Amino acid sequence: MLSASAPSHFPPPGLPEVAFLGRSNVGKSSVINSLVGAKIAKTSNTPGRTQAINFFEIRWPGKPEAELIFADLPGYGYAKISREVSSQWAGFIDPYLHQRSTLALCLALVDISIPPQASDRQLLEFLVKAQRKFLIVATKSDRVSGNQLRPALKKYAEEFPQAQIVAYSARSGVGRDELWKEIRQAIVSA
Ligand SMILES: Nc1nc2c(ncn2[C@@H]2O[C@H](COP(=O)(O)OP(=O)(O)O)[C@@H](O)[C@H]2O)c(=O)[nH]1
Ligand SMILES: [Mg+2]
């Protein structure tokens, strides 16, 4: 695992990359761990723990070479550290999202158990403006009942009609196969 908190420290672009983006505590590290099936990314109950971009090389089971990179980006939009975080956004998140040539797909995480937040909107607007390929990962779906899930997803779909949405739960594994399918598709067409 490699960490970088300045563009000059980003690992040289090589393998196709998938970025995990979203507010502090939305569940980025948990989605990474659930996709990989191992605890590689630190999860936390204290928002704002990830203060650099963490790059993970991902290998398929039985294959010797890594085939893609997961980039776990710092969360933002948490009041207590927002000053620090907005300087991070300007200092390395924004340059990363604008310049990273191997970035194949951005996963914009939202918490499906709460309504869309201002910071969710800011992120999605940023990705649209930056012309990045992205999809919404509506995580923590285990927190809503079966008949609450559909209206909750609809709320996001209405706000972000241009975006594809995958319902996910790092706890139950819901959405895992679908998200892997999307990731595979994005990296072969990258
Ligand atoms: N119920 C539930 N809790 C989750 C899920 N994903 C993450 N969490 C919890 O949300 C908190 C923040 O998760 P983390 O992955 O560290 O968020 P990050 O700051 O975006 O990386 C932790 O307490 C996790 O256990 C999920 O799918 N379901
Ligand atoms: Mg994290």
For the chain, the structural domain boundaries read 2-188
Check if the beta carbon of residue 102 is closer than 8 Å to that of residue 70. no
Residue nearest to atom 23 of ligand 1 (CA): 45
Ligand nearest to the CA of 48: 1
CA-only gyration radius of the chain, Å: 16
Task: Note the CATH architecture for domain 2-188.
Answer: 3-Layer(aba) Sandwich (3.40)
DSSP string computed for 116-151 = PPHHHHHHHHHHHHTT--EEEEEE-GGGS-HHHHHH
Q: Is the CB of 142 under 6 A from ligand 1?
A: yes
Pairing label, strands 165-167, 134-139: parallel
From first to last of its 190 residues, the chain has per-residue pLDDT tens of 677 777 778 888 899 999 999 988 899 999 999 999 988 888 876 655 557 889 999 998 888 899 999 999 987 664 444 555 667 777 788 899 999 999 999 999 999 999 998 888 888 988 999 999 999 999 999 999 989 999 999 999 999 998 999 999 999 999 999 999 999 999 998 7
CA of 75 to the centre of ligand 1 (A): 12
Ligand nearest to the CA of 54: 2
Two structure tokens written together for 47: 């928002």
